[in-house]
Structure 1
């Protein structure tokens, strides 16, 4: 058994962060006795990790011994995923002057974006989720994992491991259609995975590119539109200044926050967002969270 504690940089609320995780990432995280449980891959090795908050650090427990190199890799993955090195103090200072947005941000103080385990996982989940409600998207993602991913035994139960590109690439379009994927989406998911396997799409090289360069590189791919790329940039790569001004959810949230009769135009949204740079990703993320919680309570 291996245990470690990972301290965050700056203000961090695991309660707020895990609240959103368990609401939107049910295919990846389970709650067990006050802990979050999910699977990860260290290299090609699948492991189960249990996560909880000690009061000032993210505690991690793995039910097996890891080598020093594996421990280093796991630490790197978790610090990246849970945005432990993202200090939100400058963001809070920037937003404090806005009496409307500042209030909802203060109510969520310490909420951090949690990234998917890899850009590939994020991209596949986002493509599957296109134009679907949250519940059905989650069902399809789980079915995809069940048909192609490995299974890992942990504390007497079976956990699913998100599939590799090679595992999804082996599927036929008909395999996914039998799971209620439409034909086009089945093609998008499998063809993209095959592109990763044959090297024509190298997601690892995206890290060195700017947001605009990534948009330009990814847009020609079938099934990958601007919304999908923006989700990849935010939830797959943790880019801090993403601003999807055309997003309907963002515009609805702004209408509620600022009490306007009509939804703001894309141009008006962009003008508002200028004041939040270089933290527009977090402004958007907090607004999305505000919208989801107000819908839930209404």
Structure 2
């Protein structure tokens, strides 16, 4: 991606199908979100690339450009680190994905036509860091979204690092190396099950050793990546597909048993019962290779 710098701000051009309000609306939906702050439409976040920690402010101009400003003297000195940060932001907002064929399909689809029109320009807001994505997937298992955000906040503030600027702390997600060295007893004051703490420690160990990595999964096809994740303790089909959707960007990832997906379909179809798995599969036939976006837009109808 070609970068331009003007007055200490770097400019990322935005795709045509990008809407500031749709994306900020998604990002501000949870009051306990601890990984970034949004104020007056400006996102402030620490982006960690290896040992480099950069505090950035992201603003969006007329749905056309994203302006990146480094604050607190955190601008990287090496060009490759700057490129990694821009790549992270592009991945976070899925900027390199052409959504034309998704919208062409959605406008004729009985379930997607209204969400696609209402939230046009919404990208799948990703989680570019694999360890963070896996932890979020595990933390969110079988609990409601507000409680999941509360757990993540406790986890990050107990085990993560932070950068302080202008009287506020901006958090960095805990590293797999740190979590791999913990025991379930270290999680005692976080309101999660012992099983979940064991899962997080186990996943951290696999990542710290290099046995599990984003690079390795990215080289696989979807089915192989899904199988590799499901064989890990604590990761079932839902978590695997969630991570493959939001981190690895597999467009066919489809957490079909997701409660939110089920409830969205039930509501949009005015059903007096939950749709069966067979019914969801039938609805999803036109979504082929866009299952992840279909799911994300259906989720968005719920809040």
TM-score by length of 1: 0.92
After superposition, the CA RMSD in angstroms is 1.8
Q: Distance in 1 between matches of 2:36 and 2:94?
A: 17
- What secondary structure is seen at the aligned counterpart in 1 of 2:29? helix
Contact 1:10–1:89 under 8 Å retained in 2: no
Q: Distance in 2 between matches of 1:280 and 1:200?
A: 28
Contact 2:266–2:275 under 8 Å retained in 1: yes
Q: 1:36 to 1:277 in 2, by over 3 A?
A: same
Matched, 1:269 2:277: no
Q: Distance in 2 between matches of 1:126 and 1:68?
A: 33
* Equivalent of residue 60 in structure 2, options 53, 60, 67: 53
Q: Distance in 1 between matches of 2:18 and 2:60?
A: 10
- The answer for the alignment partner of 1:122 in structure 2 is 133
Residues 1-298 of structure 1: matches in 2 within 5 Å? 2-24=8-30, 26-55=33-62, 56-63=64-71, 64=73, 65-66=75-76, 67-290=78-301, 292-293=302-303
Q: Distance in 2 between matches of 1:172 and 1:61?
A: 39
Q: Distance in 1 between matches of 2:284 and 2:163?
A: 44
Give the total of aligned pairs. 292
Q: Distance in 2 between matches of 1:91 and 1:16?
A: 16
Q: 1:279 to 1:131 in 2, by over 3 A?
A: same
TM-score by length of 2: 0.90
> Structure 2 stretches of 5 or more lacking a match?
1-6
Q: Distance in 1 between matches of 2:20 and 2:112?
A: 22
| TM-aligned CA deviation for residue 18 of structure 1 | 1.5
> Structure 1 stretches of 5 or more lacking a match?
294-298
Contact 1:91–1:279 under 8 Å retained in 2: yes
- What secondary structure is seen at the aligned counterpart in 2 of 1:87? coil
Q: 1:187 to 1:62 in 2, by over 3 A?
A: same
Q: Distance in 2 between matches of 1:252 and 1:132?
A: 15
Greater share of residues in helix: 1
- The answer for the alignment partner of 2:4 in structure 1 is none
